[in-house]
Amino acid sequence: MQLRSLGRSGLQVSPLCFGGNVFGWTADEATSFALLDAWVDAGFNFIDTADVYSRWAPGHTGGESESVIGRWLKRSGKRHHIVLATKVGKDMGDGKVGLRPAYIRQAVEASLQRLQTDHIDLYQSHDDDTTVPLADTLGAYADLIRAGKVRAIGASNYSAARLQKALQTSERLGLPRYESLQPLFNLYDRAVFEDALQPLCVQQQVGVINFYALAAGFLTGKYRTAADAAKSARGANTTAKYLNDRGLHILAALDAVAHRYNATPGQVAVAWQMVQPGITAPIASATSVAQLHELVKATQLQLDSDALSQLDAASAQG
């Protein structure tokens, strides 16, 4: 496995990251354990979750994913095999939201307890919080790093302007800087990242671990008509955004490239992302070991210039 440097953090991560939003939600505990074991056994080490996963599910309060990972870590003894990333800032209820220093200190202790570990490798601001001075938030992270509870920090869902301001604040005050960014980016959702975030991240050596690598499953080719989408709640939610002329044009290009490489559209979609400037490790999820093995194969695809050009042309905005 060829590991990649995550920003300037010193962390070395696999070129694909497992998205832990499914743990304890669409993947029960036994399945989650099997997925985590298979991920590590395949040579991958990067796992991303968040304290809020999966608060959106009926009967869930948040922390379900972290708790499953924690129980797996305790049972498997594989903590030293993984780079563990989680996040803080999304609304956990009862006023538990945002990036106030006091709340960050409270939230990290809760995450460490659920994860059953003494440190988090990558602790990320899940959303920007403009109500709190950047220096205060970064100062709280500095304390956690000094205490050995966090190794590096990252940002998620930040605009280019705010990420740049955060980086400038870190440099000016000698505080830890965001070593990673977690933006929305895939073959369909390209514009926001490529416009200003990508050049900033490349210039400042900020690692990018983009979410929705498969556009909620659309780029696997699973949803090609409204009837396909209606078969699942997740599919129905993707219909309006992706099932249009541009989306179908992208699927046609993925089909063509996949046929040439004896691969699947989803594998090609991930392989395309992995060679884009600034991208360190796309984040993708699986709910079965078979799906996980499909993701693993994506990292073995080496797309040639013709394939990349075909995909770029099909997915160009406008």
User: What is the Cα gyration radius of the chain?
Assistant: 19
- Give the model's pLDDT for residue 223: 79
Cβ–Cβ under 8 Å, residues 97 and 53: no
Check whether 74 has a pLDDT greater than 70.
yes
Asked if 11 and 40 count as a contact pair (C-beta separation under 8 A), the reply is no
Report whether pLDDT(229) > 70: no
Is the predicted pLDDT of residue 222 greater than 90, yes or no? no
With CA atoms as reference, report the closest residue to 187 among 258, 276, 260, 256.
276
pLDDT band at 227 (very low <50, low <70, confident <90, very high): confident
CA 223 to chain centroid, in Å, comes to 22
State yes or no: is 53 an active-site residue: yes
pLDDT at 225: 74
Distance separating alpha carbons of residues 318 and 109, to the nearest angstrom: 46
> Global pTM?
0.95
pLDDT at 318 over 80: no
- Amino acid 297: pLDDT: 94
Spatial CA neighbour of 137 closest among 162, 112, 161:
162
What's the pLDDT score for residue 317? 73
Block residue for tokens 């945002």: 98
18 band by pLDDT with thresholds 50, 70 and 90: very high
Pick the range with the lowest mean pLDDT from 11-15, 175-179, 227-231.
227-231
Average pLDDT of the residues in 87-102: 97
Rounded Cα distance between 101 and 106, Å, is 9
**pLDDT at 131 (0 to 100):** 98
**Is 95 a residue whose pLDDT tops 90?**
yes
Reported as a pLDDT band with limits 50, 70 and 90, residue 216 is confident
The model's confidence at residue 234, banded by pLDDT at 50, 70 and 90, is low
CA–CA gap between residue 127 and residue 129 (Å, rounded): 6
Average pLDDT, rounded, for the chain: 95
- Both tokens of residue 258? 């996949």
pLDDT of 235 higher than 90: no
Helix runs in 77-159, H state only: 101-115, 134-146
| Closest-CA residue to 216 (of 262, 256, 184, 192) | 184
| pLDDT score at 273 | 97
- Residue 34 CA to residue 75 CA, distance in Å, equals 12
Quote the pLDDT of residue 1.
80
pLDDT tens digits, 20-64: 999 999 999 999 999 999 999 999 999 999 999 999 999 999 999
Tell me how far CA of residue 187 lies from CA of 54, 77, 107, 255, 256, in angstroms: 26, 37, 34, 13, 15
Sorted by sequence, the CB contacts under 8 Å of residue 64 that are 6+ apart come out as: 23, 24, 25, 53, 54, 57
Residue of 113, 182, 103 whose CA lies nearest to 137: 103
Please report the pLDDT score of residue 239 as a whole number.
67
Query: Above 90 in pLDDT, residue 233?
Result: no
Query: What is the per-residue pLDDT for 204?
Result: 98
Catalytic residue chosen out of the listed positions 53, 123, 212, 242: 53
